[in-house]
Structure 1
Amino acid sequence: MAIIRSIIEDMRSRSHRVAVVVDKEEEKVVVGDSLRQSCWANMPQELLREVLLRIEASEDTWPPRKNVVACAGVCRSWRVITKEIVKKPELSSKITFPISVKQPGPRENLIQCFIKRNRSTQTYYLFLSLTSSLGDDGKFLLAARRCRRPTCTDYIISLHADDMSRGSNNYVGKLRSNFLGTKFTVYDGQPPHAGANITKSRSTRLVNLKQVSPKVPNRDFTVAHISYELNVLGSRGPRRMHCVMNSIPASSIEPGGEAPTQTEFSFNSVDMFPLFPFFRSKSNRVDKSLSGPLGDQKDGKLVLKNKAPRWHEQLQCWCLNFHGRVTVASVKNFQLVASAENGPAGPEHDKIILQFGKVGKDLFTMDYRYPISAFQAFAICLSSFDTKIACE
């Protein structure tokens, strides 16, 4: 493994060298690098596969797993074989590449993550838990920023902690709420599956005071609707929520069922979108999907509902078993399971698909599993942060 690590370090050091020739001595260095790169690219396929298999098996946790990502960046042949070797989170329970946050989690266990909130900047950061301790640094996955508008609230979700521009290649999707904060829609920045419907929107937008050009095909795809029941009687208790996953069939939780899986980012490619004219509209327009009922959207789609808590007589509060992952009582805490909308409930409806809870003033845990992705789970949890006067 020492030889393998030296190869990786050699690749990294070469990628940071400046390829500007100033004199004859630097020219020799650049030529030498080019020759060595061709040698690594032309390694026998059988030997290369064996090397990459050993790296993938040994570097199975972060931060050492960054070596697997480094191998995919060496050259085209290394990238192709690395992508074949590295399994999706559904099969490996590992998050390796950026696209992993858009792929469903494992079927048999929960991927443990946590969310850090920055109140001053209205930003939220999702990290992958590296240990069982709630105080570790974690592996950064996604970031979101809250943007308050006259009639709604947007949460822009990005792959980069400091780049929240909707016109950037780091843009993943967004969460939008209605005025009351009782209904939310999750949008994906690229098609979640073949035949996905495009959400028509304004030709230009202002995100963090940055205008996105109409030439950039910023079109979103609706992937989920989240609704919180109104508390008209003012009774105390946990929130009740329903999540209609537009892009996931209800059969996905059954044995042999499958959920759509994205394999790569499109990076706002113009070629993947059909051309149609842009239309201007008022800046305070709210999508119709936020105001209408959700009942007609549930047919054939996976519906998640919060698991009913039990009343604890001694503690005089509502309780859920988070198995030590949640330590602070909060109205934001929830566990989501599949709702039996189209038939009798089975054992698959008892599995917790997503759980979210408070462990500190601005620290929350988020654990998810198949058939939802880290991006979808993060968006659902962001809806819990929004103020809901009518639900409490």
Structure 2
Amino acid sequence: MSFKSIIQDMKGEIGSISRKGFDVKIGYGLRSRSHRVVQDVPVPLIDALKQSCWANMPPELLRDVLMRLEAAESSWPLRKHVVACAGVCRSWREITKEIVKTPELSGKLTFPISLKQPGPRDSLLQCFIKRNRSTQTYHLYLGLTQALTDNGKFLLAARKCRRPTCTDYIISVDAEDMSKGSGTYIGKLRSNFLGTKFTAYDAQPPHAGAMVAKSRSTRLVGLKQVSPRVPAGNYPVAHIAYELNVLGSRGPRRMQCVMDSIPASAIEPGGVAPTPTEFPVGSVDSFPSIPFFRSKSSARSESYSSGPLTSPKDGVLVLKNKAPRWHEQLQCWCLNFRGRVTVASVKNFQLVASPENGQASQEHEKVLLQFGKVGKDLFTMDYRYPISAFQAFAICLSSFDTKIACE
């Protein structure tokens, strides 16, 4: 029996049991037209997950099967089978959460929560962004091959919203539903009037003790009386600033990113960055198509592997763009993107950690995020630890915005 047929068999069995449980529930809750109670004796609901024969598999056997599957299907689209196993039942989900490692350790994006977790330490995770000018939307994809033209695995989407005094980029995990009041909303990017300063907001606290920023958008969501399960918080996670250019030079942009939720020590050997292990319970059901939204490779019960910055002296991670060099023969500014960027653009950049006290180390020379143009509306985005896909996407979105004072 193939693995695909096993999954279909499990879904059919669980579905039939769920329908039986639903029929029993509503059958004893009906009232006649004369408003008399037909029967009000409480009947225990059938737990479809416990009745499934798949839930009763010996844990040792189940763990061995899932470990083999995790090792064999290491990339998308086959990796969807690993995700499907986490949706079978509670016991399968818990074991899958223990086996599947975070992107920091595995270099893989498996569950939606992986988009909020730091990328791999030893390599850049290669993604790309597709821009749609007519709809003012941006879609982030995970590269499935080394080619720059593959279809990729969809990760995030953003929609540009122009306002009189600023510009908002609403970020969602749904390619079709990109509204602030939606259950798929996970954050936003907001610019100032000149387009020189941006703030990236996370809809959920990036670490324990994170402070929410009150804003007009938060109050508006409250006025709409949306479901309380819909995340509507504004937690600042990054501040991006582009240097003003009063001379109007067409030279490269200069930018700096202050990562509010990442300590400066995270880039050092043994350094730790906040790693959310699951979305808050209140927002799990906001993603009905992803019942197995919680994920993490650790057995720890804490929601975050590291707390907030303990004191101001710890500092936060500051990123700056790597200065390009002038190429005399090509007569242009150049950066080594190692083949990942093919079109010259003022939007292209590489971010490295800003050295402290003027003393640069090898860790400060590593490119943590690079973004560049490869087609008319196609851009590559590669990131690594301690930045997450969500944070990297927000930073790259700032490069698309028109900057009146910079160019």
- CA positional deviation for 1:3: 4.6
The 1:245/1:132 distance shift into structure 2, 3 A limit, reads same
Q: Deviations over 1:156-213 (max 9, x none)?
A: 0000001112222211100000000000000000010011011112354379xx9454
Report Cα offsets for 1:244-273 as digits up to 9, x if no partner. Answer: 000000000000000000111126559xxx
Offset of 1:63 from its aligned partner? 0.3
8 Å CA contact retained: 2:181, 2:221: no
1:60 aligns with one of 74, 90, 94? 74
CA deviation after TM superposition for structure 1 residue 82, in Å: 0.1
Q: Secondary structure at the match of 1:191?
A: coil
Listed one character per residue, the Cα deviations across residues 207-247 of structure 1 (whole Å, up to 9, x for unaligned) are 9xx94549666221000100000011222211000000000
Write out per-residue CA displacement over residues 259-292 of structure 1, whole angstroms, 9 at most, x where no aligned residue. Answer: 000111126559xxxxxxxxxxxxxxxxxxxxxx
SS across alignment from 1:349? helix
Return the alpha-carbon distance in structure 2 between the equivalents of residues 73 and 381 of structure 1: 33
Q: Deviations over 1:58-95 (max 9, x none)?
A: 11110000000000000000000000000000000000
Residue 313 of structure 1: how far off its partner (Å) = 0.2
User: Residue 147 of structure 1: CA displacement?
Assistant: 0.5
Distance verdict in 2 for CA 1:50–1:237, change over 3 Å = same
Mark the CA change 1:261 to 1:343 in structure 2 (over 3 Å): closer, same or farther: farther
Instruction: Report the equivalent of 2:309.
Output: none
Counterpart mapping for 1:279-290 below 5 A: none
Write out aligned runs for 1:166-245 (5 A). Answer: 166-202=180-216, 204-205=219-220, 211=224, 213=226, 218-245=232-259
Letter in 2 for 1:148: R
Separation in 2 of the partners of 1:18 and 1:362?
Answer: 48
Aligned CA distance change for structure 1 residues 233 and 7 (closer, same or farther; 3 Å): same
Q: 1:219 to 1:51 in 2, by over 3 A?
A: same
Q: Which residue is equivalent to 2:268?
A: 254
Q: Secondary structure at the match of 1:321?
A: coil
* C-alpha RMSD over aligned residues: 2.6
Q: Within the alignment, does 1:302 sit opposite 2:312 as a pair?
A: no
CA contact (8 A) 1:244 1:298 kept: no
The one-letter amino acid of 1:135's match is T
In structure 2, what is the Cα distance between the partners aligned to 1:151 and 1:335? 29
Which of 66-75 and 198-207 deviates more? 198-207
Aligned twin of 1:152: 166
Task: State the alpha-carbon separation in 2 of the partners of residues 111 and 104 from structure 1.
Answer: 10
Residue in 2 that maps onto 1:366: 381
SS for the counterpart of 2:393 is helix
Determine the C-alpha separation between the residues in 1 that align with 2:150 and 2:283: 37
2:8 is matched with: 9
Aligned residues of 1:166 and 1:212 also touching (Cα < 8 A)? no
Q: Which residue of 2 aligns with 1:48?
A: 62
Number of equivalent positions:
354
Which of 318, 334, 344 is the equivalent residue of 2:359? 344
Q: Distance in 1 between matches of 2:114 and 2:361?
A: 29
Kept in 2, the 8 Å contact 1:204–1:212? The answer is: no
Query: SS of the counterpart of 1:391?
Result: coil
Whole-angstrom distance in 1 between the partners of 2:282 and 2:261: 20
1:138 corresponding residue in structure 2: 152
Distance between the aligned counterparts of 2:134 and 2:375, measured in 1? 17
**Correspondence list, 1:85-100, <5 A:** 85-100=99-114
Equivalent-residue separation in structure 1 for 2:138 and 2:335 (angstroms): 25
The amino acid of 1:153's aligned partner reads T
Q: In the aligned structure 2, how far is the partner of 1:89 from the partner of 1:19?
A: 34
Native 8 Å contact 2:126 2:383 kept in 1: yes
**What amino acid is aligned across from residue 11 of structure 1 in structure 2?**
M
C-alpha distance in 2 between matches for 1:243 and 1:391: 16
Amino acid at match of 2:323: A
Letter of the aligned partner of 1:117 in structure 2?
R
Q: Retained in 2: the 8 A contact 1:303–1:341? A: no
**1:125 alignment partner in structure 2:** 139
CA distance in 2, matches of 1:249, 1:268: 27
In 2, are the aligned partners of 1:205 and 1:212 still within 8 Å (CA)?
Answer: no
Distance in 1 (CA, whole Å) between partners of 2:339 and 2:67 is: 35
Q: 2:390 aligns with which of 375, 378, 391?
A: 375
Paired residue type of 1:9:
Q
Counterpart AA for 1:310: R
Give SS of 2:141's match: strand
For residue 4 of structure 1, report the CA deviation from its aligned partner.
3.8
Question: Aligned partners of 2:12 and 2:384: how far apart in 1?
Answer: 37
Structure-2 separation of matches of 1:64 and 1:248: 33
Task: Give SS of 1:83's match.
Answer: helix
1:75 aligns with 2:89: yes
Distance in 1 between the 2:187 and 2:121 partners?
24
After TM superposition, the structure 1 = structure 2 runs for residues 28-39 of structure 1, keeping only pairs within 5 Å, are 38-39=52-53
Residue 254 of structure 1 contacts residue 348 of structure 1 at CA under 8 Å; is this kept in 2?
yes
User: Cα distance, 1:135 vs. partner?
Assistant: 1.0
Aligned to 2:279: 265
Mapped to 1, the partners of 2:18 and 2:283 lie a distance apart of 29
CA distance, structure 1, for counterparts of residue 370 and residue 214 of structure 2? 32
Identity of aligned residues (%): 75
1: CA distance, partners of 2:240 / 2:54: 49
> 1:344 deviation in Å?
1.5
TM-score, structure 2 as length reference: 0.82
